[in-house]
């Protein structure tokens, strides 16, 4: 006999009263073929599922939701699946980042408007992890994050292929004429071999690992391959666990604290994780009401070496990371740096979750004394070009470019870039600094992954494979190069990037954490006086709302004024 007090369930407001309105709720649930005992007096678990046929990363989540439901039923809950914006990174235009905040809003409102007691959040592709979590943190119902898992390892002629990383590498080789069109088609077919997220340490793998580090996923969940039976069982376990979390009222506000975010930054540094994660983690911290600033990432990366030997900074793929012991093993290696008392969805502290984890492959998860690079996985730079900061990934850049001075070649926007970059007469050499404006949250809008500017074709043909590139855009977490990203404030908001001209000298000094344009203040003041804000063409209502409300990169790009906690429950009349 259960001792649970069903009357305190949130869903009881919908299902329990002896009223015509509550009767209608019961009537419509019965109408779907559920028996009364299947939905009454049970926690209702909302499975927020970002599955769609245009999101290959989440293609299998429709089926995996059945495993989650199995776990919910086993534990005495009532599972209901709620479809949500799928946000497949590659298919969505102009960029998924434009819609991360929309998914956050949707998640929050889906949970608020329905009789939901607890949520299982199913995502994994880059923006779905932060989007789902942001909404769930604001709603603050018990919630557990189920990552989609990564796709099968890529392969071409016996050599590993990492999606994104090798897409970029071999596209450059094709443009340089060192591989044929037929070779390229083989690469295209071999790089992404199944549903699941990118199998490199891109934004998806970084963010799912961060969700687990924050305590929002089951231990080990983020380092499971999508097509592995372990993944199916993890989904079922998450379904059972969320029911217990509802009875324990274990909400995100009882899990997330400053120490969870400090742990997330340590893991981010040790993974040489995606630069995009910086924006998302700051947005999550804001939603959780925890102060977190850009410089904390830099300070962490300076003391925590990059240990994870996975592309783009390393040479292995995510499946190798799984075989090496996955995230619990990496955290075990970092245990002296982590706060092991941080709470998690298991109801136990992080330290207990990883107590038995161990590293199986030392070359994949390196010891602290043998990092994959002498350079950190992240650096935050400031200077007269980025007063509010910008980021780069030194471990994935050509070391000779980490201290560099070069002549700026400026592209005013992305159309200008693609119109000229392969022009044989382009005035550029290997020391030039490519600059792209209007790639930020407001200007683009949505801050697309344009920051890995292509190397000009004439330089590729001469063997150049890396250059200093500067923009207010983001870069795919799977890519590499000496790319200075997220320059804040962005050009569209009148940041100094807007004032840079072709021919100016730009100085990058990563060790000093500086990025400057060597133009005197009087000249910059003159240029500022002549600068006018961009005149945007009319866009859809949502895009205009985004532009009006979005915060700058160093603030996490959330909407100003959104994400308030403690909003009253919907009234039922």
> What residues line the site for ligand FES (CB under 6 A)?
57, 89-90, 125-126, 197-198, 202, 204
Q: How many CB atoms lie within 10 A of CB 172?
A: 17
By beta-carbon proximity to ligand FES, the closer residue of 122 and 435 is 122
By beta-carbon proximity to ligand FES, the closer residue of 198 and 221 is 198
Question: Which residue has 């150049």 as its token pair?
Answer: 464
CB of residue 235 to ligand FES, shortest distance in Å: 18
By beta-carbon proximity to ligand FES, the closer residue of 57 and 211 is 57
By beta-carbon proximity to ligand FES, the closer residue of 162 and 496 is 162
168-174: list long-range contacts, CB under 8 Å, 24+ apart: 168/452, 168/476, 168/478, 168/479, 168/480, 172/454, 172/455, 172/460, 172/465
First-last CA distance in the chain = 33
**Cβ distance 485 to 393 under 8 Å?**
no
Phi and psi for 471 in degrees, rounded to 5?
-160, 170
CB of residue 130 to ligand FES, shortest distance in Å: 13
* Torsion over CA: 277, 280, 285, 291 (sign): positive
Spatial separation of the C-alpha atoms in residues 119 and 427, rounded to whole Å: 55
By beta-carbon proximity to ligand FES, the closer residue of 208 and 300 is 208
CB of residue 209 to ligand FES, shortest distance in Å: 13
**Cβ distance 518 to 504 under 8 Å?**
yes
Beta bridge mates, 410: 435
By beta-carbon proximity to ligand FES, the closer residue of 129 and 344 is 129
By beta-carbon proximity to ligand FES, the closer residue of 119 and 207 is 207
CB of residue 470 to ligand FES, shortest distance in Å: 24
CB of residue 153 to ligand FES, shortest distance in Å: 14
What number of CA atoms fall less than 13 Å from residue 204's CA on the CB side? Answer: 34
Spatial separation of the C-alpha atoms in residues 462 and 439, rounded to whole Å: 28
CA distances to 89, 411, 420 from 415, in Å: 21, 8, 9
Spatial separation of the C-alpha atoms in residues 281 and 300, rounded to whole Å: 14
By beta-carbon proximity to ligand FES, the closer residue of 332 and 478 is 478
E runs forming strands in 338-415: 379-383, 386-392, 403-411
By beta-carbon proximity to ligand FES, the closer residue of 57 and 390 is 57
CB of residue 69 to ligand FES, shortest distance in Å: 24
Describe the crossing of helices 276-288 and 203-213 by its angle, rounded to 10 degrees: 30
By beta-carbon proximity to ligand FES, the closer residue of 198 and 550 is 198
Integer-rounded Cα radius of gyration of the chain: 24
In our burial notation (b when 16+ CB lie closer than 10 A, e otherwise), range 262-288 reads: bbbbbbbbbbbbbbbbbbbbbbbbbbb
Beta bridge mates, 386: 383
What number of CA atoms fall less than 13 Å from residue 265's CA on the CB side? Answer: 25
What number of CA atoms fall less than 13 Å from residue 48's CA on the CB side? Answer: 36
By beta-carbon proximity to ligand FES, the closer residue of 197 and 344 is 197
CB of residue 29 to ligand FES, shortest distance in Å: 34
By beta-carbon proximity to ligand FES, the closer residue of 164 and 394 is 164
- Written as one string, the DSSP assignment of 521-538 is HHHHHHHHHH-----PPP
- Structure token pair of residue 324: 């090496």
């Amino acid at each position: 006999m259960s001792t649970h007090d069903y009357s305190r369930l949130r869903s009881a407001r919908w299902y329990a009263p002896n009223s015509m309105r509550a009767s209608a709720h019961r009537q419509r649930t019965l109408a779907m073929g559920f028996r009364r005992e299947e939905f009454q007096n049970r926690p209702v678990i909302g499975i927020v599922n970002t599955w769609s046929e245009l999101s290959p990363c989440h293609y299998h989540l429709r089926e995996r939701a059945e495993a989650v439901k199995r776990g919910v039923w086993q534990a005495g809950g009532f599972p209901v699946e709620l479809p949500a914006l799928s946000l497949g990174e590659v298919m969505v235009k102009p960029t998924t980042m434009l819609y991360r905040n929309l998914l956050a809003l949707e998640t929050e409102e889906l949970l608020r408007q329905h009789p939901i007691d607890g949520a299982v959040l199913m995502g994994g592709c880059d923006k779905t992890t932060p989007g789902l979590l942001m909404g769930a943190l604001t709603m603050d119902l018990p919630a557990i994050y189920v990552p989609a898992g990564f796709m099968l390892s890529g392969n071409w002629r016996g050599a590993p292929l990492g999606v994104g990383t090798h897409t970029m590498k071999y596209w450059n080789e094709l443009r340089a004429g060192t591989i044929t069109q037929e070779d390229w088609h083989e690469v295209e077919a071999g790089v992404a071999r199944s549903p699941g997220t990118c199998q490199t340490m891109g934004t998806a793998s970084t963010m799912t690992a961060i969700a687990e580090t924050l305590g929002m996923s089951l231990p080990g969940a983020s380092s499971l391959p999508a097509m592995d039976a372990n993944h199916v069982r993890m989904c079922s376990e998450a379904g059972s666990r969320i029911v217990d979390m509802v009875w324990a009222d274990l909400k995100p506000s009882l899990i997330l604290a400053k120490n969870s975010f400090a742990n997330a930054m340590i893991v981010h540094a040790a993974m040489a994780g995606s630069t995009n994660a910086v924006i998302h983690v700051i947005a999550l911290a804001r939603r959780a009401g925890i102060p977190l600033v850009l410089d904390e990432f830099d300070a962490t990366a300076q003391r925590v070496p990059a240990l994870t030997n996975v592309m783009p900074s390393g040479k292995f793929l995510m499946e190798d990371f799984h075989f090496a012991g996955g995230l619990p093993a990496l955290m075990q290696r970092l245990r002296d740096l982590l706060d092991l008392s941080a709470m998690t969805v298991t109801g136990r502290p992080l330290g207990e979750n990883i107590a038995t984890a161990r590293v199986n492959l030392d070359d994949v998860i390196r010891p602290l004394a043998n990092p994959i690079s002498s350079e950190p996985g992240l650096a935050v730079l400031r200077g007269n070009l980025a007063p509010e900061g910008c980021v780069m990934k030194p471990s994935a850049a050509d070391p000779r470019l980490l201290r560099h001075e070069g002549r700026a070649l400026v592209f005013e926007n992305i159309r200008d870039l693609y119109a000229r970059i392969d022009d044989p007469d382009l005035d550029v050499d290997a020391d030039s600094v490519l600059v792209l404006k209007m790639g930020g949250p407001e200007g683009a809008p949505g801050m697309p992954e344009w920051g890995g500017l292509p190397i000009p074709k004439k330089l590729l043909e001469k063997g150049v494979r890396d250059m200093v590139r500067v923009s207010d855009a983001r870069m795919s977490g799977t890519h590499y190069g000496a790319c200075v990203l997220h320059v804040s404030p962005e050009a569209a908001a009148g940041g100094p990037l807007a004032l840079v001209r072709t021919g100016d000298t730009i100085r990058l000094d990563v060790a000093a954490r500086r990025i400057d344009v060597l133009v005197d203040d009087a000249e910059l003041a003159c240029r500022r006086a002549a600068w006018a804000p961009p005149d945007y063409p009319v866009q859809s209502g949502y895009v205009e709302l985004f532009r009006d409300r979005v915060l700058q990169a160093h603030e996490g790009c959330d909407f100003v004024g959104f994400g308030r906690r403690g909003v009253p429950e919907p009234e039922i009349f």
